[in-house]
Amino acid sequence: MRLGPLTLASNLFLSPLAGYTNLPFRLTVRELGGVGLATTDLVNARSLLEKKAQALKLIETLPADRPLAVQLFGSVPEEMRDAAVYLESLGIASADINMGCPVRKVCRVGGGSAMMTELDRTARLVRGMVDAVKIPISAKMRLGWDDENITAPDLARALEDAGVAAVFVHGRTRQQGFSGTVNLAGIRAVVQAVKAIPVIGNGDVTTPEAAKMMLEQTGCAGVSIGRGAFYNPWIFQHTLHYLQTGELSSEPTFEERVRLMCRHLDLMIEVFGEDHGCRMFRKVAPWYAKRFGPVNEFNKRVVLVSSRAGFYEILDYYRRWRQQFLDETGELKPRFRPPPMTASFMQPPGAAPSGNIPVPKGPVEVW
Ligand SMILES: Cc1cc2nc3c(=O)[nH]c(=O)nc-3n(C[C@H](O)[C@H](O)[C@H](O)COP(=O)(O)O)c2cc1C
């Protein structure tokens, strides 16, 4: 698919997940294949222009991490424009504007979801960015502030007129937070509101079937996957295969999941150093572990990990402890297998929520 002047290898996108979609994670999923474009965590435009170490770390990249979009937030048009120019000068493929962040820190300065209530001002800010660079500028939004204020269709149209190359829509309102069902009709309304630019649907896609359903029911041009990629970094590869052939790939085995987790840890250590990389991995490893079957003995130890060797000790211990849940072929006994993932919008009406994707704890828990 195309994103402005870019041709992407697939219509599958890695969503920004602040604190998670760092360089090691992006490299990990890219090695498995299927990703059309990955996006960084959101980056404060002013901090980037001031070359603050934290902002520069967020945009750190490597040739294997291409094409890459950097997500910017901010409300000062000149800062957003200059940050886009700076990203272009670094060879970043595209800049995305955060318009759907319900975190107070972001809304207070007029960025995030607050942008959706001020269409004209936002369109001017976007036009200033679009006119200053050749790289595509996209925008990421929620459906609106609440059910009474579904602004995404109007915003998307105004942004298209201002020159954005694509819009990403998380099919929930700001008021919903992460609860309830992703609203496919709401995403479809955005698709219908724009004239020509691609709309990328987002929210709760955890399986290839869910991606296909979102594409078919909304008419969106692509699908962006966030938390689903943490449960299943193979989701891009598997979804692409499913969209191309109609065949579902088999679930990765426990050993494949462990291999990937260890690869991810190695990349964390390369990028952040052993001490910091291992500390950061404390909140990453439990995501992999969600598909391991019983994991309490793993999780309670891994949250204390501080070295690579320590991690491997934990893993060895865990492998031994996990034996009790296996049958004679080495597979998890059926009653210990994690339930299949089901996207919120694929549950039968009235069904109790199952397989919901928890929002990780931490400073970004109100996303
Ligand atoms: C921990 C966490 C951090 C997030 N950080 C960002 C962010 O930096 N920028 C953004 O636009 N959205 C952010 N989001 C929202 C996701 O990009 C995505 O829209 C949302 O999680 C729904 O997609 P999913 O169900 O595939 O995860 C974040 C979500 C979570 C759970």
**Residue whose CA is at the smallest distance from ligand 1 atom 28:** 17
Q: Are β-strands 6-7 and 12-14 bridged in parallel, bridged antiparallel, or unpaired?
A: unpaired
CA-CA distance, 319 to 269, in Å (whole number)?
Answer: 23
Q: What percent of the chain has pLDDT over 90?
A: 79
Confidence class of residue 349 from pLDDT cuts 50, 70 and 90? low
- The pLDDT of residue 359 is 66
- HSE of 49, CA atoms in CB hemisphere, 13 A: 16
Query: Which ligand 1 atom is nearest residue 142's CA?
Result: 19
The CA distance from 138 to 162, in Å, is 11
CB count in 10 Å sphere of residue 108 = 11
- Token pair 């269709």 is at which residue? 153
Give 273-292 pLDDT, tens digit per residue.
Answer: 999 999 999 999 999 999 99
Q: What is the pLDDT of residues 292-317, one digit of tens each?
A: 999 999 999 999 999 999 999 999 99
Q: Is the dihedral of CA 21, 24, 27, 31 positive or negative?
A: negative
The residue-averaged pLDDT of 181-200 equals 97
- Please state, for a pLDDT cut of 70, what percent of the chain lies above it: 90
Band of pLDDT at residue 342, cut at 50, 70 and 90: confident
Q: How far apart are CA 48 and CA 203, in angstroms?
A: 28
- Gap between the Cα atoms of 363 and 201, Å rounded: 25
| Count of residues making up the chain | 367
Return the closest-CA partner of residue 112 out of 155, 54, 163: 155
Give yes or no: 278 in active site. no
pLDDT band at 147 (very low <50, low <70, confident <90, very high): confident
User: Ligand 1 centre and the CA of 326: distance in Å?
Assistant: 35
pLDDT at 363 (0 to 100): 42
Residue nearest (by alpha carbon) to ligand 1 atom 1: 17
353: Cβ contacts below 8 Å, ≥ 6 apart = 344, 347
Residue 355 has pLDDT above 80, yes or no: no
Question: How many angstroms separate the alpha carbon of residue 266 from the centre of ligand 1?
Answer: 24
> Is the bond into 24 cis (omega within 30 degrees of 0)?
no
**DSSP one-letter code for 340:** P
Q: Which two tokens stand for residue 320?
A: 């031994």
Q: What is the pLDDT of residues 234-264, one digit of tens each?
A: 999 999 999 999 999 999 999 999 999 999 9
**Residues with Cβ < 8 Å from 128, sequence gap 6 or more?**
77, 78, 80, 81
By the 8 A CB rule, do 92 and 59 touch? yes
- What are the pLDDT digits (tens) for 4-54? 999 999 999 999 999 899 999 999 999 999 999 999 999 999 999 999 999
pLDDT band at 367; cut points 50, 70, 90: very low
Residue 365 — pLDDT band, cuts 50, 70, 90? very low
The catalytic position among 101, 220, 262, 278 is 101
pLDDT digits (tens, 9 = 90+) for 64-122: 999 999 999 998 999 999 999 999 999 999 999 998 655 555 555 566 666 655 778 88
**Counting atoms of ligand 1 from 1, which one is nearest the CA of 228?**
26
- Most ligand 1 atoms within 8 A of CB, residue of 12, 13, 15 to mutate: 15
> Minimum mean pLDDT among 93-97, 131-135, 151-155, 331-335: which range?
151-155
**Range of weakest confidence among 75-89, 102-116, 212-226, 332-346:** 102-116
**Identity of the amino acid at 226:** G
